[in-house]
Structures are given as C-alpha cells and as structure tokens.
Amino acid sequence: MALTNYLVPAILLLAAASALRKRADVYGTLIEGGRDGLRLTAAILPSLVMLLTGLTLLRESGALGALTGLLAPLASAVGIPPETVPLLLVRPFSGSAALAVGAELMAVHGPDSLIGRTAAIMLGSTETTFYTVSVYFSAAGIRKSRFAVPAALTADAAGFLAAAFFARLLP
Amino acid sequence: MAMSWIWMGMVAAAMAYAALHGTGPALSGAVAAGTKQAVELGLSIAGSLCLWSGFAALLRAGGLQKRLAALLSPLLGRIYPTAARDPETMEALCGNTTANLLGLGNAATPLGIAAVRRMQTLAGSREATDEACRLIVMNTASIQLLPTTVAALRGGLGSASPFSILPAVWVTSLLSVSVGLLAARILQKWL
C-alpha cells in the first residue's frame, strides 16, 4: 500500500496547518497535547501489568490453549482464526483486557502475521460494548434499554467476522 | 467489580489447570514474564501515544472538529430524523460522531451523553427511544478513522508498516456499524 506510507505524515501536516491557520502555536500545542499521551500511558500501564500477568499465567499453565482448542472448531467454521477466540471473549467487557490479549497475540505470532493483523483489525474496529452501554444509560437515567444491547452485539459479531475476512483479503 | 472477578478467575483457572496437568513449574516464571512484557509494551507505545495526543490537540486548536461536524450533519439528519428537528440535540450528536471519527474518546462521551439526555427529555420517557438506541449502537461500534492505539501497539511490536491495516479497519468498521443499525431497525419493532 504505497498510499498508506504517506498517510501518517500527511495527516500530521494537515492538522498542523489547520491549527496554524487559527494562529495557534503549533509546536506548543503538540507538546502540551503530548503530555496527555504520557498521562494515558501511565493510566493504562498498571492494568496492562495485571492483565498480562494473568494472561501469561493462563497461557503457561496450558489453560488458554485448552480453551482455544475447545472453541477452535466453531471459530474455524466461520473463518475466524481460533487463536483470536480469547480476544472475542473479552472485547465487549474490557478495553484494557482486550488490548492486553491483542498485544499478546501480536507479540507471539508477529504483528504482521495473519493472526496479528486479524487481532489488530478486530481491536481497531470494535468497542467495549457493555461498558459504553452502561455509561450511556446510567448517565441518561434510562431504565429500559430495549434493543440497544442485542443490536450492539450484532454489530460486534459482524465486526469480528469482517475483520477475519478482510485480514485475509487485504495485504 | 466485574474486572475483579475476571482477574481472579484468570489466576484461579491457571492454577487449577496447572495442578491438573502438571504445568505448575511454569507458573512463577509466567508472573515475571508477564510483568516484564507489560512494561516493555507500555514503553514501546508511549512515544506513539504522545505523538497522537499532540495530534488530537492540533485538531482541537484548528477547529477541524467543527468543520467535519458541519459536513456530517446532513447524513446524521437521515439517521436521526426526530433529533434533527432539535438544534441542541443535533449539535451534541454531530460533536459526538465527529469526536468518535477523530478518535477523541474523551470528548465523544460527554457529547453523546448530552445528546441521549436531550432525546429522552424531549420524549419524556425513561424507556430508551429508537434514536437513543441507534446512538448507543454508533458508539459501541468503533468508527475511528485513525486507530492510533492499535497502530502504536503494532509499531511497538515491530510491524513493518503499523498503519497498513487502515483500509481493512475502515471497511470492517463500516460493515459493523451498518449491520448494527440494520439490526436496530429490525429489532425496534419487537423490543
């Protein structure tokens, strides 16, 4: 993909140019915003440590492999790499747990392998469904959520299937 | 609370499985390896997260968010016809969608909540309206144009081209949002 090579610097430049047009201090804004990135890293690091420790324990004990093996026929039947099954299971519940599982998959199989890419596409195109639903409904004082959860989970399922499909199709 | 059970379940399941299958000796090494891996991962993505947070600050400074919102408003009016009649709801809705597209999650949530609140107030009901549910579906399905955290992860783990997954992420997101909205359309008749 030659185009995606230029995409990142081009987007950065475009954002900088739009800020400059509003007479903003571009470099100062970048530095100030960069601090948010450090805060974000500090905020997710403890949960990465705890979850990756739990996950490594599961993998080294053999339990993760057994679970994957159990669900493998089902996943393979719909074209999803069986290794990504743990990711599907945690994705709707916890964003940091999904990030940890995805990172583990990419580290073990390589970020550019089919499994690594499938995991990345799944992470990039789905959200923490149950968390989002509960935040929205409790904040808006909604008692009856009607079809929100089933519709959102249908979207997640479609996302997982499509991620597996397009990881194979696109380079 | 849910996370407490998930985490304890992970540790307990690993111990039980190891006891049954004799893989116990690997466990203490696993703890050390897991923590080390997490810190290495955190360090390797810290740079990217800094850069993209700076980028988000540029977007805010440049007012790009507002212009994109104006561009999206006709499309959103078709998805949310009732909300479109109320300027206050529409403003929050456009802001929420734009912030989601640009990956500004912290800006998206308060705007989305404001939109849902307004929808419910206008409907005068504690039961979610069709359009409130649609908004939830739009927010639980990721529509981020630049999934920077995942790209940071890929870059940190040595991918040759961290952003090469973009086209696949875009079509996948589009498909999953469409399926979600379609499911909402069908289910709203019964639920």
Contact across the interface for B61 and A19, Cβ inside 8 Å: yes
Whether B71 contacts chain A with CB within 8 A: no
Residues A105, A84 contacting (CB under 8 angstroms): yes
Residues A116, A126 contacting (CB under 8 angstroms): no
pLDDT over threshold 70, residue B1: no
Residues B50, A93 contacting (CB under 8 angstroms): no
pLDDT over threshold 80, residue A4: no
* Interfacial A residues in 68-97 facing B (CB < 8 Å): 90, 93-94, 97
What integer pLDDT is reported at residue A2 of this predicted model?
A: 63
pLDDT over threshold 60, residue B43: yes
Burial state string for B39-78 with b = 16 or more CB within 10 A and e = fewer than 16: eebbebbbbbbbbbbbbbbbbbbbebbeebbeebbeebee
Q: What is the H or E stretch that residue B124 is in?
A: none
Rg (CA), chain A: 19
Residue A68 neighbours by CB under 8 Å, 6+ apart: A82, A83, A85, A86
B68-103 residue pLDDT tens: 888 889 999 999 999 999 988 998 999 899 989 988
Closest-CA distance, B107 to chain A, in angstroms, reads 13
pLDDT over threshold 60, residue A1: no
Nearest-angstrom CA–CA distance, A62 and A81:
18
Q: How does residue B171 score in pLDDT terms, banded at 50, 70 and 90? A: very high
Mapped onto helix, strand or coil, the DSSP state of residue A144 is: strand
Which of A117, A146, A166 would best serve as a mutation to test chain B binding (most B beta carbons within 10 A)?
A146
Contact across the interface for B184 and A12, Cβ inside 8 Å: no
Contact across the interface for A111 and B113, Cβ inside 8 Å: no
Mapped onto helix, strand or coil, the DSSP state of residue B127 is: strand
What integer pLDDT is reported at residue A61 of this predicted model?
A: 94
A98-129 residue pLDDT tens: 999 999 999 999 999 999 999 999 999 999 89
Residues A120, A106 contacting (CB under 8 angstroms): yes
Nearest-angstrom CA–CA distance, B73 and B91:
9
Nearest-angstrom CA–CA distance, B87 and B110:
17
Lowest mean pLDDT, pick from A96-110, B52-66, B114-128: B52-66
A141-168 residue pLDDT tens: 888 889 999 999 999 999 999 999 999 9
Contact across the interface for A146 and B144, Cβ inside 8 Å: no
Residue B188 neighbours by CB under 8 Å, 6+ apart: A146, A147, B130, B133
**What is the arithmetic mean of pLDDT over B128-157?**
92
Contact across the interface for A99 and B163, Cβ inside 8 Å: no
Whether A142 contacts chain B with CB within 8 A: yes
Query: What are the extents of the domains in chain A?
Result: 50-169
Residues A160, B166 contacting (CB under 8 angstroms): no
For A133, the token pair is 């639903």
Residue A49 neighbours by CB under 8 Å, 6+ apart: B34, B35, B38, B39
Q: How does residue A81 score in pLDDT terms, banded at 50, 70 and 90? A: very high
Contact across the interface for A61 and B172, Cβ inside 8 Å: no
Of B139, B146, B167, the CB nearest to A132: B139
pLDDT over threshold 80, residue A5: no
What integer pLDDT is reported at residue A170 of this predicted model?
A: 81
* Interfacial B residues in 14-33 facing A (CB < 8 Å): 14-18, 21, 23, 26-27, 29-31, 33
pTM for this one?
Answer: 0.87
Closest-CA distance, B5 to chain A, in angstroms, reads 12
Chain B positions in Cβ-Cβ contact with residue A69 (cut-off 8 Å)? none
Whether A155 contacts chain B with CB within 8 A: yes
Contact across the interface for B165 and A121, Cβ inside 8 Å: yes
As for the ipTM of the complex, it is 0.86
pLDDT over threshold 70, residue B2: no
How many residue pairs bridge chain A and chain B with CB atoms within 8 Å of each other? 356
| Mean model confidence pLDDT for chain A | 90
Which of A30, A57, A105 would best serve as a mutation to test chain B binding (most B beta carbons within 10 A)?
A57
